A and B are shown apart, each in its own frame.
Chain A
Amino acid sequence: MVSRVWSLMRFLIKGSVAGGAVYLVYDQELLGPSDKSEAALRKAEEVLPPAVYQFSQYVSQQTGLQIPQLPAPPKINFPIRESWNSGIIKVMSALSAAPSKAREYSREGWEYLKERTK
């Protein structure tokens, strides 16, 4: 009797946890159109660092440990997009110029050999 009640309770708890997760996803429209999920991502990006900071403060208060202050991550101003784009352009222009350049170099090499063997 008790075990049946306990298994029913367990099932209800699991069901409510799973149902709550599904409802959260539905409410925040995480699986909807792309602009809604993009907005949710922006919101999460804004909310996350203060929440992590507050949680670390709370943990250090409760346990008395002092969490060492991590140094701020370096701001990398490396423009990946520009360097990738310029890399692609350079590779493609080199490929398109390759046959004519190869012809020119082979012609020069042939001339050089002719000069040497004269």
Chain B
Amino acid sequence: MSESDLGRKWDRCMADAVVKIGTGLGLGIVFSLTFFKRKMWPLAFGSGMGLGMAYSNCQHDFQAPYLLHGKYVKEQEQ
């Protein structure tokens, strides 16, 4: 991976993290106000889910060039 590729991947990771955490927080606010009596835990849950999704995406992005893909080949009994 070249330096500029790495920089672009990091930029994408940060933007993705911002969007996902914000979305999770927003959904948490909506659900907290509508169904969960203005408690705090939906916000924490939603933003935590967003953070986890963003981390997983980032991890996959960085590992993608080095992942090996294989498939099982059944032994042919002769």
Could you list which residues of chain A lie within 8 angstroms of chain B, going by C-beta atoms? 14-15, 17-18, 21-22, 25, 30-31, 33-35, 37-38, 40-41
The reply to whether A18 and B20 contact each other, CB–CB distance below 8 Å, is no
Name the one of B18, B30, B31, B57 contacting A33, with C-beta atoms under 8 angstroms.
B57
A18 in contact with B19 given A25-B27, A38-B12 (CB within 8 Å): no
A22 to B31 Cα, complex, angstroms: 10
Residue from the list A14, A15, A17, A30 in contact with B20, Cβ < 8 A: A30
B19-78, CB < 8 A from A: 19-20, 23-24, 26-27, 30-31, 34-35, 50, 53-54, 57-58, 61
Interface majority SS on B: helix, strand, loop or mixed?
Answer: helix
Interface residues of B (CB under 8 A from A): 12-13, 15-16, 18-20, 23-24, 26-27, 30-31, 34-35, 50, 53-54, 57-58, 61
Chain B residues with Cβ under 8 A from A37's Cβ?
A: 15-16, 19-20
Q: A34-B57, A38-B15 are in contact. List 20 more A-B contacts (CB 8 A).
A: A17-B34, A18-B30, A18-B31, A18-B34, A18-B35, A21-B30, A22-B27, A25-B27, A30-B20, A31-B50, A33-B57, A34-B13, A34-B15, A34-B16, A34-B61, A35-B12, A38-B19, A40-B19, A41-B15, A41-B19
Least CB distance, A34 to chain B, in whole angstroms: 4
Closest 4 CB pairs of A and B: A34-B16, A14-B34, A37-B19, A21-B30
Residues of B within 8 A of A31 (CB): 20, 23-24, 50, 53
